[in-house]
């Protein structure tokens, strides 16, 4: 990853999304009632969506940086 502040924030977002996914998986396994399942299902879905967006943004930043170096 690059050293710009915006890229550092994207890396942190990826880390956060991965933690959301881990928490959702653990929480779902340890749930005691259906409403907990809903909560962790939403957390899992949100984590995966956020991870996908952040990874796409990281890729776009890398592509943009590569174009600048080739000029």
Mean pLDDT by 10 residues, the chain (71 residues): 81 97 96 94 98 96 71 52
Q: How far apart are CA 54 and CA 10, in angstroms?
A: 6
The whole-number pLDDT of residue 65 equals 73
Q: Tell me, what's the pLDDT at 40? A: 97
Q: How many domains does the chain have?
A: 1
- For residues 55 and 14, the answer to whether their CB atoms sit within 8 Å is yes
What is the span of the domain harbouring residue 66?
5-70
Would you state the pLDDT for residue 19?
Answer: 98
d(CA 30, CA 9): 31
Report the 10 Å Cβ neighbour count for 39.
Answer: 14
Residue with tokens 């991870």: 51
């Amino acid at each position: 990853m690059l050293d710009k502040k915006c890229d550092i924030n994207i890396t942190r977002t990826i880390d956060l999304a991965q933690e959301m996914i881990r928490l959702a998986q653990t929480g779902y396994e340890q749930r005691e009632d259906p409403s907990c399942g809903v909560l962790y299902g939403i957390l899992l879905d949100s984590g995966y969506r956020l991870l996908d967006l952040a990874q796409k943004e990281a890729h776009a930043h890398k592509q943009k940086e590569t174009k600048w170096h080739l000029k």
